[in-house]
Chain A
Amino acid sequence: MNEVNVSMKINGKTVTGSVESRVLLAHFIREQGGLTGTHVGCDSSSCGVCTVLLDGYTPVKSCTMYAVMADGHEITTVESLAVGGKLHPMQQAFWDQHGLQCGYCTPGMMLSSIALLKQNPNPTEHEIREGLSGNLCRCTGYNNIVKAVQQAAQVMNQPELAAAADD
């Protein structure tokens, strides 16, 4: 099968590869990008463990998008969240609130949560549950994920809270 050149920015870094046109974005990120935090779980766009952010804050399911469709675009994955060893407020909140168990859904869940807060900085519990309904979790039953997003929202809306946490 014919290969095509694909180039995209993943977490600010240009990744280029010659791949078959049917190669999925998820596989491009994992194999060409070497970033395995983006997982694959269902092959049918149902589970959301492959969620990444496209061109800023648009969550997309990278197992349902071809790598060529992301050619020239910017992708954000879980690996970009922690900066210099310091966890992103969303990561910190998932840790504090026990919002993960096996960890398989966690990267996609956090990226969807970040996209949700970008759109709606103060979501209600129902809005959080609605906003995350494209990301399945088998372990947590979602209670603690909701609490984590609430904590992250509070910290991200009040930068002084985040600063205090550094002390």
Chain B
Amino acid sequence: MTDIAQGSPEIVTEQPAKFAMGKSMKRKEDPRFLQGKGNYIDDINLKGQLYMALVHSPYPHANIRGIDSSEAMKIPGAVAVVTSKELNAYNVGWLPTFHGLDKQMVLADGKVLYQYQEVAAVYAETREAAYDMIELVEVDYEPLEVVNNPFKAMKDDVLLRPDREAKTNHIYNWNVGDQGATDAALATSDHVVKQHVVFPRVHAAPLEPCGCIAEFDVMGRLQFYVTSQAPHVYRTALFLVLGIPEDKIRVISPDLGGGFGNKVPVYPGYVCAIAGALVLQRPVKWIETRTENLTSSFARDYHMDIEIGATKEGKLTALKVNTVADHGAFDAAADPSKYPAGMFGIVSGSYDFPVAYANLDAYFTNKQPGGVAYRCSFRVTEASYLIERAMDIVADELKMDPTELRRKNFIQKEQFPYKSPLNFTYDSGDYEHTMDVALEKIGYKQLLEEQAEKRARGELMGIGISTFTEVTGAGPSKHFDILGIKMFDGAEIRIHPSGSGIIRTGTKSQGQGHETTWAQIVAEELGLDPQNFLVEEGDTDTAPYGLGTYASRSTPVAGGALALAARKIREKARKIAAHVLEVSEHDLEWKDYAFHVMGAPGKTITMKEVAFAAYTNPGDNEPGLEATLYYDPPNMVFPHGTYVAVVDVDRDTGETKVRRFLAVDDAGTIINPMIVEGQIHGGLTEGFAIAFMQEIAYDEAGNNLATNFTDYLIPTSLESPHWETAATCTPSPHHPIGAKSVGESPNVGSPAAFVNAVIDALSPLGVRHIDMPLTREKVWAAIRTAENAVAAD
């Protein structure tokens, strides 16, 4: 039935065998990608389209005294130049940010606040003419003092956002937990371990940059093709920004060449393209350059101070975290409105802290705005990295094995549902089991022996552990909304007379394989062939409303909607089956993927037969077989895992070689092991990049130092380690199919494993912490500094 991949994945699951789920079905979407027939944004061209390009500021902070576009308009093919003046005339000069705490300029309005900020949009008959035009738009800048970090910003010597009511660079304070009890517990703890940890500014950098084409058709309806992970949210956002009624907007998100969070925000270029299309009455196409992509948003940039209390036996007593967040020029973070710091409250991790307190202050700086995810559920990565890094420091201080410290403090499987001191109710987990599987599979004892021998010889070998917990699947409507829209998801299933069907959801795959996995979920619920389902996403005219694909929410939310919609179909099918078999529907049971008459062996009807009957012989029942369902999850899901990195550090050069890396993930029920394993491989490679090579760094003058792939590095096949994977299975008790999520776990959990491994390797020298990225130079410098300190003693 299912077309199983020949290269069956190494990942072995613990879950029981099923009909269509849990199988490594080859991906249904692949044939078009393999043949170069994917339909990405730049593959779409509309008749009569203009090309748009953007003028960017070379200054990080400057007043704009004037913009002269007269020379640019002399370029053959030049059509128009737009600045904030024109946008303001249409009342679209500023955009609301997703969580509603700020607004951002579409084009620089009077001043620029970061290098590469969009200053003007040009429109031309050809791409080449548009790029010629931007060279000739003369902007008169008056440079201002630059605030290149949040610690300078908090002094308020230079006010970056005089447009705001509050005359300060401080954006907001967020805190959770019990400060008094936490301080008291820390004051009486045997040990208090403190560490300052920075999670640097990074960027998701999908290989396909963002882009769009906007057209107002003959009926005045906006056809907006755009690289969007959340097409319905875009439609509603466009209504809010432009005032166009939603029936006059069609958002189409075509095949996406990766996203990883970068394709969640509504970028200024999109608004400029729509404004141009409206005013010029021509379709307008805009495709980002790589530099535009890397300079238009960011992830992370948290400066964190952690304090952990512990007894001398290694029992944790308290956790306190103070964070300074660098949000750049606008607070454009794409977080749910009640969670300005996202899910950072997961910072107590997998451990049973009696008390905890987390406090965060966010500031404006002269840097690119954002705070969007990079394969991360709203700041989970910062939190997970911090606690997993700190656990190793605590273990080092207490002279304990890091796995033993973790074992001693894990939330026990009997404690679920577990109310954390930072206000999450963890649904399920078995942390100790997952860690045991990982330690056994990697051969932890043997590695420790090998390490002892190497250390005796002065060689630097490290073993890094990360036993992380995530919180994903936003989210329950009580707590989660974006722009006021509750974070549910819709699913629509139609079964055709022949037992095949079409599935539509409000999510949007960027490579996750929804065209395959969604079919597997529905097929499992209905006993139909997953090969015979067409899956459609990304067109707001046809897909049911949904909040989109990011923050590991597709399977937790839309996956739940699909399973429940399929069950709705099953209930209707039961009535039709009863009619066909001439029994009462109460005499039927759904067993082994068919309806059986109880007490009458052999009297059965399959879903395929019921589907045919729904159109040919429905009896008194409403004909047809379809369902639409909106799923509002009762809780978040809490995937977890144990990752182990084994590294060798070259003492002379500082070069780190990741010799082995094992990821044991517990994502609950797995839909397609091959796809899950592929996602883990990809996420680990991104985590590897963050740990060792990626940073959007700025110099003192506010210059962005990572504006292309020669400065902002993506791992190649050569330096990427070979990944090993395994899975444990603790199904989510509240999710309709017991699924959690996995796409982001490897990016959330792996940076700490890599860094812990390197620090473990350097620990004989007395090195306690190095901030990412652990480049050769930084590691080399840490080794030399440590050696010099020893020599000086």
Contacts and interface: CB of A to CB of B under 8 A. Distances in A.
A39 B682 contact: no
A38 B678 CA distance: 24
Given A138-B714, A145-B717, A41 B208 contact: yes
Interface in A77-104: 77-79, 81-82, 87, 91, 94-98, 100-104
A124 interface: no
Given A103-B38, A143-B723, A20 B718 contact: no
A41 to B, nearest CB: 5
Given A106-B34, A136-B716, A98 B678 contact: yes
Contacts of A82: 34-35
Given A82-B35, A104-B257, A136 B207 contact: yes
B6 interface: yes
Contacts of A134: 716
Contacts of B260: 138
Contacts of B510: 102
B7 interface: yes
A156 to B, nearest CB: 16
Determine chain B's interface SS by DSSP, over half rule: loop
B33 A106 contact: yes
Contact of B723 (A47, A94, A102, A141): A141
A35 B36 CA distance: 8
Contacts of B675: 98
A97 B34 CA distance: 12
A103 B255 contact: yes
Interface string B1-16: 0000111010000000
A97 B681 CA distance: 13
Contact of B258 (A20, A43, A91, A139): A139
Contacts of A140: 678, 681-682, 685
Contact of A101 (B32, B209, B513): B513
Contacts of B714: 46-47, 136, 138
A122 to B, nearest CB: 18
A142 interface: yes
A93 to B, nearest CB: 9
A15 B7 CA distance: 39
* Most B CB within 10 A of own CB, among A42, A107, A125: A42
B433 to A, nearest CB: 25
Interface stretch (B23-31, B484-492, B638-646): B23-31
A137 B207 contact: yes
A2 to B, nearest CB: 12
Contacts of A104: 38, 40, 206-208, 257-258
B86 interface: no
A145 B715 CA distance: 14
Given A44-B708, A95-B30, A78 B207 contact: no
B512 interface: yes
A70 interface: no
B7 A96 contact: yes
A102 B681 contact: no
Interface string B698-711: 00000000001110
A8 interface: no
Given A23-B128, A129-B718, A39 B257 contact: yes
Contact of B291 (A35, A43, A95, A101): A43
B710 A95 contact: no
Interface string A36-65: 111111111011010000000000000000
B762 to A, nearest CB: 26
Interface string B713-755: 0101110101100000000000000000000000000000000
Nearest to B288: A43
Interface of B: 5-7, 9, 26-27, 29-38, 40, 42-43, 127-128, 205-209, 255-260, 289-291, 510-513, 674-675, 677-686, 708-710, 714, 716-718, 720, 722-723
Interface of A: 1, 20, 22-23, 27, 30, 35-44, 46-47, 49, 77-79, 81-82, 87, 91, 94-98, 100-107, 110, 125, 128-130, 132-148, 151
Given A39-B208, A129-B718, 6 more contacts: A97-B6, A98-B678, A100-B34, A125-B722, A141-B683, A145-B717
